[in-house]
Structure 1
Amino acid sequence: MRIGILTGGGDVPGLNPCIRSITLSAIDLGWEVIGFRRGWGGFLKIDPEDPASIAAYSYKLDRERVRGIDRMGGTILHTSRVDPRTAPEGDRTDHVLRVLDAMGVDAMITLGGDGTLRFSAHLAGLGYPIISIPKTMDNDVFGTDYCIGFSTAVTRSVEAINALRTTTESHERIAVIELFGRRSGETALLSGFLAQVDRTLISEVPVDLDRLVPLIVADKKSRPANYAVCVISEGASIVGEALPDKSDIAKSASQRLLAGVGHRLAKHLEARTGQGTVVQELAYLMRAGEPDALDRMVGFAFGGLAVQLIHSRRMGRMVTLNQGRYDHVPADTLLRSTRSVDVEGLYDPYHYRAKLMRVEGMPMFLY
């Protein structure tokens, strides 16, 4: 048996532990493991008849190759945000399948977010043997309660938010801290709750400045140190602003036409209150560095489960964590809906804060 692995989309801590787990689990079964570089984009660079292109975009994974990588962030396989169906020259699904056939790959394990796994579901629908592993620090893949990278992103965010309190307090300002989360506000909601910030603004609920500003001013005045902290998801919207082009926020920061929502909110706050602000986009720092203990654990477990599914010939599945238990669902499950914050159950949209109305019987992350 020869299996392939790739990572696609944004990197997150926990990918390398998962790669190590897959590789060692497969080797223990006597299988060969091929790592494909640069996600699905790497496939488009491979010419099955050109050994040099195969060597450039794939290599054998063995015990030595994966030794110690579980302590590293990012992905040793590198990554890209490419869907072969939307290549400039048209749908290249057939090319991907031709590469897999020519290289003798019996099954693929793909680690990615919504974009990467959508193409994986497409291949599964065509009958190709594939197992998907969800990873995204936004935790927004439908069908699983947890994605690799989420815990580390929250941990990094809480550390940074609390560190920024010293500067905010010293200058008696209002801190506006923007976190990743274009479609889902889970990362901001949980980070804001754990860091016990004054207000948390999420992608799912538009920000009404007429309601928010008095709350922030009261927060600042109520604290002897005379400062306040507000966390906001990058995908949040502000009531009264022209709705930004959704494609703009999908671009890298250097290519966006609009300032980030954190900077826009800070300008509104300064104009309405006369108070100074501290603005910080945590951005890539949220996904930088080594994985925390939970993402190592989930990475190892997801990788082992993926190999077990292939070994038992249960293909076309996505590994999941649901209600605190490892499980798996059809690979196309993520296509059925979108995952977002349960606003009614977990968020107070009038006071812009997390709320815990119920805890008994809930899973660890309350989602």
Structure 2
Amino acid sequence: MRIGILTGGGDVPGLNPCIRSITLNADDLGWDVVGFRRGWEGVLAIDPADPASVAANSFALTREGVRGIDRMGGTILHTSRVDPRTVSQGDSTAHVLDVLDALGIDAMVTLGGDGTLRFSAHLAAQGMSVISVPKTMDNDVFGTDYCIGFSTAVSRSVEAINALRTTVESHERIGIVELFGRRSGETALLAGFLAQVDRTVIAEVPADLDILIPLLAEDKASNPAHYAMCVISEGASIKGEEDDDGALSKSAIERDDVGVGHRLGRAVTARLGSGVVNQELAYLMRAGEPDAMDRMVGFAFGGLAVQLLAKGEKARMVALKDGNYCHVPVDTLLHGTKSVDVSGLYDRETYRAKLMRVEGMPMFLY
């Protein structure tokens, strides 16, 4: 068996442990492993008749070559957000299949978020053997309770929020921390809860400033240290503002408007005259080495992917459901969306997590 691996979308901690796990488990079976650089972009850049293009965009993954990478963040394969169906030259699915066939790839293991795994499902529908591995710090891939990268992103966020308290308190201001999370507010909800901030605004519930700002003013006034903390998802909206959903599909540098955290900060200052500390954690949430949870899940997902291929499975996505490792059809993510259970986990009137119902719940918020 000769398998290919690639990583697509944004990097997250935990990808390298997964790559190492796949490589070692495949090597134990005597299989060859090929890593493709820069996700689907690397596959598209290969001309099978040109050895130089093959060498520039792929390389053999060996037991020795992946030694120690589990301690590293990011992905040694590098990444891109390219979908071969939407490139400038038109749908290039056929070229991808031709490249994989020419290189003798029997199966692909793809590590990615919604975009990468949607094309993986499309490739599987064309008859290619594909095992998908969900990763995204937003934890919003439908069909799995957990995605690689989520735990580390929450841990990084809690550390940063609590560190920022020293400055916010020293200046007696209102701190507003914006976290990644375009469609789902789960990262903000859990980070805000664990850091015990005063208010958390999630992507699923628009912020009514006539309610939120007086609450923050009350939080600041009632705190002996004279400060308050608020966490907000980058995908959150402010009631009364024009909805610009298209802006969130762009990278942060391409967006014309300032982020929602800064817009909230301006409103707080305008209404209260209070100083504000604004902080976008942005890429720091996904930077650095993985925590213990993402190492463990990365290792487990990688091992499960190889075990599925060894059993002859060919169109599956590895997953965690109710705390148990499992697998679902590779196209599962096409049939729904994953977001915060607002009625069960969030109080929209007070902008706070509502996590008092604990018995019977999994370890993370599902």
TM-score range, shorter chain: over 0.9
Indicate the residue corresponding to 2:145 in structure 1: 145
Matches within 5 A, 1:1-367: 1-244=1-244, 246-367=245-366
The 3-state SS of whatever aligns with 1:40 is: helix
Structure 1 length normalisation: TM-score? 0.99
Counterpart of 1:334 in structure 2: which amino acid? L
Structure 2 length normalisation: TM-score? 0.99
Contact 1:317-1:330 at 8 Å conserved across structures: yes
State the 1:48 CA deviation: 0.9
The 3-state SS of whatever aligns with 1:84 is: coil
CA RMSD after TM alignment: 0.6
State the 1:249 CA deviation: 2.1
Q: Distance in 2 between matches of 1:268 and 1:242?
A: 16
The 3-state SS of whatever aligns with 2:182 is: coil
Q: Distance in 1 between matches of 2:252 and 2:332?
A: 31
State the 1:243 CA deviation: 1.3
The 3-state SS of whatever aligns with 2:294 is: helix
Q: Distance in 2 between matches of 1:129 and 1:47?
A: 21
State the 1:357 CA deviation: 3.6
Contact 1:359-1:366 at 8 Å conserved across structures: no
Q: Which runs of 5+ in 2 are unaligned?
A: none
Counterpart of 1:149 in structure 2: which amino acid? G
Q: Distance in 2 between matches of 1:4 and 1:80?
A: 16
Q: Distance in 2 between matches of 1:175 and 1:114?
A: 32
Q: Distance in 1 between matches of 2:274 and 2:162?
A: 21
Q: Distance in 1 between matches of 2:139 and 2:23?
A: 25
State the 1:253 CA deviation: 2.2
Q: Distance in 1 between matches of 2:126 and 2:44?
A: 19
4+ runs deviating over 4 angstroms: none
State the 1:254 CA deviation: 2.1
Counterpart of 1:211 in structure 2: which amino acid? I
Number of paired residues? 366
Q: Which runs of 5+ in 1 are unaligned?
A: none
Counterpart of 1:331 in structure 2: which amino acid? V
State the 1:43 CA deviation: 1.0
State the 1:366 CA deviation: 3.0
Aligned-pair identity (%): 75
State the 1:247 CA deviation: 2.4
